[in-house]
Amino acid sequence: MPGMIVSLGNEQGGIQAMIQITYLSSATRTMSQADLEDILRTARENNARLGITGMLLYGNKTFIQILEGEEGVVHELVKTIKRDPRHTNFQIVKEKPIEQHEYADWSMGFKRVSGEDFEAVKGLKHFEEKDFNTTFLEGHASIVDSLMDHFRKARQKKIGQEELSLDEEDRFMKILHHTIRGAVKVLAVLMVFTILWGVLDVVSVLYQQLLAPTFTTFSIRDIVTTFGAFMAVLIAIEIFINITLYIRKDVIHVKLVVATALMAMARKVIIFDFNEITPPYAFATAAVVLALGITYWLIERRLTWGEADSL
């Protein structure tokens, strides 16, 4: 079957560009729940390892899949997928360069679609389940875009992943989100000044604690004080990163916040003065680090495997 390829760009300079590829294919048989679970398990394991994200729709013995990531990695993965004997009529309907992941919260999202699902898609009033096939869709790339965009946004609203979204249908909320994004940029600039001030403080501490005293007066406490100044600047840098993440789409905000908290606690442990802290304080700190570590692991596991999809 001839395919209609829409190419919107290529690699930029010597840097490995990111691309997004959308393809269609026909299942060689009706996919059972076990078949779909096997496809998703393999896809999520491989994609998490390769840094690939995307989404897969299945219905009426037809697959639509979006894959995004580094250009070379995506092209190699597409070659592998094309050879899979479980589908045929493989057609690339769109390939475009991207600056950031649009499906960042899934190593592979999934939706099993039917007639009722299509009724909720704007602009597809007369689209029916029988039209969900490679023969019809290969000549209607705009419908493929509408389907993928609809189910991506529906899933994002369900899990509340994107912060300060500019895709809001409510105009007033969209204006508020624009305003808050502007405030976030101001906070980012102020945090840069805070970081620079912290660097000057580190220089001051280095002079006062390490250079000014003689070797005989140098103590472990001086080292701890110096470490503390360094850690304060590093934590400020992490806060700056978290501030800027609120105006990006290709990150998992909760994961980054938990990671920042975990690193801040771990760095606090490094500069503990065990001559001053009490055992309950040490045990409480250990409990917080353990809780944050478990939380991060659970988030990472959920993002790799995703929710229990409708198989």
**pLDDT surpasses 80 at 286:** yes
**pLDDT tens digits, 24-55:** 999 999 998 889 888 888 888 888 888 898 88
Report residue 179 as tokens.
Answer: 């305003």
Instruction: Please state the rounded mean pLDDT for residues 268-294.
Output: 84
pLDDT, greater one: 2 or 190: 190
For residues 235 and 106, what is the distance between their CA atoms, to the nearest angstrom? 28
Band the pLDDT of 70: cuts 50, 70, 90: very high
Least confident of 12-16, 170-174, 179-183: 12-16
Q: What is the CA radius of gyration of the chain?
A: 25
**pLDDT surpasses 70 at 126:** yes
State residue 215's pLDDT score.
53
For residues 181 and 168, what is the distance between their CA atoms, to the nearest angstrom? 14
Provide the residue count of the chain: 311
Share above pLDDT 70 across residues of the chain, in percent, rounded to a whole number? 78
Q: Which phi and psi (to 5°) does residue 93 adopt?
A: -100, -20
**pLDDT surpasses 60 at 251:** no
Contact indicator for 112, 104 with CB cutoff of 8 Å:
no
Domains annotated on the chain, with CATH: 18-161 (3.30.70.100), 171-302 (no CATH)
Distances (CA, A) of 158 to 12, 19, 44, 161, 293: 35, 26, 20, 8, 26
**pLDDT surpasses 50 at 147:** yes
For residues 272 and 227, what is the distance between their CA atoms, to the nearest angstrom? 10
Band the pLDDT of 110: cuts 50, 70, 90: confident
Among 83-87, 96-100, 108-112, 175-179, top mean pLDDT goes to 83-87
Report residue 174 as tokens.
Answer: 């969209």
pLDDT, greater one: 207 or 187: 187
Among 83-87, 214-218, 262-266, top mean pLDDT goes to 83-87
Distances (CA, A) of 93 to 96, 134, 135, 181: 10, 10, 12, 34
State residue 305's pLDDT score.
46
Instruction: Please state the rounded mean pLDDT for residues 59-79.
Output: 92
State residue 165's pLDDT score.
63
State residue 277's pLDDT score.
81
Contact indicator for 54, 108 with CB cutoff of 8 Å:
yes
**pLDDT tens digits, 290-300:** 998 898 888 76
pLDDT, greater one: 63 or 169: 63
State residue 12's pLDDT score.
42
Summary mean pLDDT of the chain: 79
